[in-house]
Structure 1
């Protein structure tokens, strides 16, 4: 039996930030990426709430948030005693804020009325997922925190912060959206509901990500990618993701490859691998390719799958995504040394269990070798 709820209230549109004007007599903690600290956009957000509320800002956010940074955030929060937490940033910022809010409520028994996420990239979908990925700095292992209690209470989707997003950030985060949706589409827990969300996200990515990569991107283009990210997040939060993510987490942990880029590198190879081992996955992706208009509905399954892979690779090239670790700047000999370690950890990664085919150690080694 499937049970469906979307606990996070979603406010979407250029005017979504007006929601913040409704707070009164609250202690508000804003957790944001450090480059936003003195920005006009953050000043605008604060102006919507100041005068009626006590506002504090915390900016000690880094990529792949370490567990130690979550501890520091909680220590800072104890002195503030916030009633509202607002995370403004990309996936790392929101994940770190999830950890801070979660442990603040669970361990410190803080009275946090609402935890709000305002994503500044169209990528992770973290604003609507029950996941937070935290990193052990010593071992470079990423640990997923999975609990409905980490879900933000509200998500505000606005084009304000993504207008100035650098092209490479737009590209990598956008490819992350595509991977979320394509993996959720064939994950072991997928169903008609998650498929509908995933397919719409995929359509939006192929149409709007190339537009957002250009300096001529409009607010509507940006909002469409924001909505694609959110749709993909809602989908994979129920369906799961798969082997791409399990392997990409290791590329990020060992070589600091941005998560969306790591996903992008692996995506075509894992799709081809899953299709070659699971006929149902091949049929489903083939139907999707035809629905997306990449090929005729009368084409062979092989041609349909080929058209999907070609469309993905064309998009990667349009966005100038490095296709291998070597292209990214990692020496091949260095990456080869880590192959067995990364493979062992990929097999232990929680995302692996949702892959539609149980790849073994040798399978994953072979897949990694494609992107060295």
Structure 2
């Protein structure tokens, strides 16, 4: 039996931030990426609320949020006892805020009426997913926090913050959207509902991500990618992802490769691997390739799959994505010493179990070697 609910209320569009004007007499904690502090965009957001509420800013946010930073955030929050938490940032900021809000409610019994996510990148879909990834700084192991209780109560999709995203951030986060959708499309828990969300996200990415990477990107282009990110998040939150993510988490943990870029490096090889081991996956991806116009409907399955992978690689080159760890700046001899460790940890990653083929340790080693 499939149960379908989307608990997070989604406000989308240039005027979505007007939702914040409805708060009155609240203690509001804004958790945001440090570079947003004193920015005109953040000043605008604060101006929507500060005349009728007490607004506090917290900016101790770092990439791959460590568990220790979540603890520090909770300690800070205890001093102001917010009734509303607003996370404004990328995936790391939103994930850290999820941990702060979750444990604040669960362990500290704080009366947080509303937890709102405002994504500033079109990538993670974290604003509508029921898990967060936190890092143990000592071991560099990433731990998932999985619970519907970490879902934001509301998500505000606004083009305000993504208008100024650097090209590399746009590229890597956008490839993250594509991987979310392509993995969800063949994940073990996929169904017709998640497929519909994933397909639309994939279509939007191929059309709008190259446009968003250019300085001529319009507000419509940016908003379309923002919506693609959210659609992909809704899809994989129910369907799962797969070994691209399980393996990418280790590249991020060991070599600090941006998550979307790590996903991008692995994607073409994992698609080929899964297709070669699962005929149903090959058939599904071939159908998608034809539907997107990458190959003719009468083309062979092999040609359709080749066309899909070629389209992905072409997109990566268009976005100036490094295609392997060496191109990113990691010494090959160093990365080789981590292969067994990364493969072992990828097998333990929560994303692994949704992959449509149960890849083993040697399979993962082989895939990692392709991106050294």
- Give the structure-2-normalised TM-score: 1.00
- Counting only pairs closer than 5 Å after superposition, residues 22-41 of structure 1 correspond to structure 2 as 22-41=22-41
Partner of 2:229: 229
- Counting only pairs closer than 5 Å after superposition, residues 64-213 of structure 1 correspond to structure 2 as 64-213=64-213
Tell me, what secondary structure is at the counterpart of 2:336? Answer: helix
Partner of 1:281: 281
- Counting only pairs closer than 5 Å after superposition, residues 354-365 of structure 1 correspond to structure 2 as 354-365=354-365
> Following the alignment from structure 1 to structure 2, what is the Cα–Cα distance between the partners of residues 201 and 170?
16
1:51 equivalent in alignment to 2:72? no
Partner of 1:322: 322
> Following the alignment from structure 2 to structure 1, what is the Cα–Cα distance between the partners of residues 214 and 274?
33
Partner of 1:353: 353
Aligned residues: 372
Q: CA deviation at 1:131?
A: 1.0
Partner of 2:18: 18
1:335 equivalent in alignment to 2:335? yes
> Following the alignment from structure 1 to structure 2, what is the Cα–Cα distance between the partners of residues 224 and 163?
12
Tell me, what secondary structure is at the counterpart of 1:353? Answer: helix
> Following the alignment from structure 2 to structure 1, what is the Cα–Cα distance between the partners of residues 203 and 131?
24
> Following the alignment from structure 1 to structure 2, what is the Cα–Cα distance between the partners of residues 146 and 190?
18
Q: CA deviation at 1:51?
A: 1.1
Q: CA deviation at 1:106?
A: 0.1
Tell me, what secondary structure is at the counterpart of 1:317? Answer: helix
Tell me, what secondary structure is at the counterpart of 1:320? Answer: coil
1:267 equivalent in alignment to 2:267? yes
Q: Deviations over 1:18-73 (max 9, x none)?
A: 00000000000000000000100000000000110000000000000000000000
Tell me, what secondary structure is at the counterpart of 1:6? Answer: coil
> Following the alignment from structure 1 to structure 2, what is the Cα–Cα distance between the partners of residues 178 and 66?
26
Q: Which runs of 5+ in 2 are unaligned?
A: none
Q: Deviations over 1:151-190 (max 9, x none)?
A: 0000000000000000000000000000000000000000
Partner of 2:243: 243
Q: Deviations over 1:326-357 (max 9, x none)?
A: 00000000000000000000000000000000
> Following the alignment from structure 1 to structure 2, what is the Cα–Cα distance between the partners of residues 53 and 112?
15
> Following the alignment from structure 2 to structure 1, what is the Cα–Cα distance between the partners of residues 326 and 7?
42
Q: Deviations over 1:208-267 (max 9, x none)?
A: 000000000000000000000000000000000000000000000000000000000000
Tell me, what secondary structure is at the counterpart of 1:152? Answer: coil
Question: How well do the aligned residues superpose, as a CA RMSD in angstroms?
Answer: 0.2
Q: Deviations over 1:77-135 (max 9, x none)?
A: 00010000000000000000000000000000000000000000000000000010000
- Give the structure-1-normalised TM-score: 1.00
Tell me, what secondary structure is at the counterpart of 1:134? Answer: strand
Runs ≥4 residues deviating over 4 A = none
Q: Which runs of 5+ in 1 are unaligned?
A: none
Tell me, what secondary structure is at the counterpart of 1:232? Answer: helix
Q: CA deviation at 1:298?
A: 0.3
> Following the alignment from structure 2 to structure 1, what is the Cα–Cα distance between the partners of residues 266 and 353?
17
Tell me, what secondary structure is at the counterpart of 1:82? Answer: coil
Partner of 1:370: 370
Partner of 1:299: 299
> Following the alignment from structure 2 to structure 1, what is the Cα–Cα distance between the partners of residues 110 and 230?
28
